Structure 1
């Protein structure tokens, strides 16, 4: 585990563009005030939209088995069996 570089509050104010570019590139920082850590700047994780076939197959191998009968029982228990006409007055 790598140690996050420390930056002062003044550095954050004066070098904000440079620091934000580094964060966008994956760098994290600990912000200090008067020599004491007060916060962390960390990049947000971006959600992937695409999962490759290979990754999906690998994840599927470790997924728990699904009982279709129990799935149907769960659906029946949570479903409203009496469908009303939404337009009936």
Structure 2
């Protein structure tokens, strides 16, 4: 990884067009204020997110154990007794 050049906030403000051209060309900077780093100015790189195919996800879900609905409901009711109901459609601030 290349070393980032430090530039002051004032230099960024005064020479912003030139600095943006340099960033666009691949150069990066550390912006400082009172000689302390406050930001990095780096070229934008679009992240490519790879997602597994739906078929692979379906296979993974097929390996999960079945849900015991009665046990889940009992656990939820027990938690509600301790923590209170948490209905996402209920607004606790309205009376």
TM-score by length of 2: 0.49
SS in 2 for 1:3: coil
Counterpart residue number, 2:15: 15
CA-to-aligned-CA distance 1:13-54 (integer Å, 9 cap, x gap): 100000000111111100001111111001111468xxxxxx
CA-to-aligned-CA distance 1:43-80 (integer Å, 9 cap, x gap): 111468xxxxxxxxxxxxxxxxx77x938x59xxxxxx
Flag structure 2 segments of 5+ consecutive residues without an equivalent: 49-54, 64-95
Is 1:24 the counterpart of 2:24? The answer is yes
Counterpart residue number, 2:40: 40
SS in 2 for 1:7: strand
Please tell me the root mean square deviation across aligned C-alpha atoms, in Å.
2.9
Flag structure 1 segments of 5+ consecutive residues without an equivalent: 49-65, 75-89
Query: Over alpha carbons, which structure has the higher Rg?
Result: 2
Poorly superposed stretches of 4+, deviation over 3 Å:
none
Q: Distance in 1 between matches of 2:59 and 2:43?
A: 42
Q: Distance in 2 between matches of 1:34 and 1:10?
A: 10
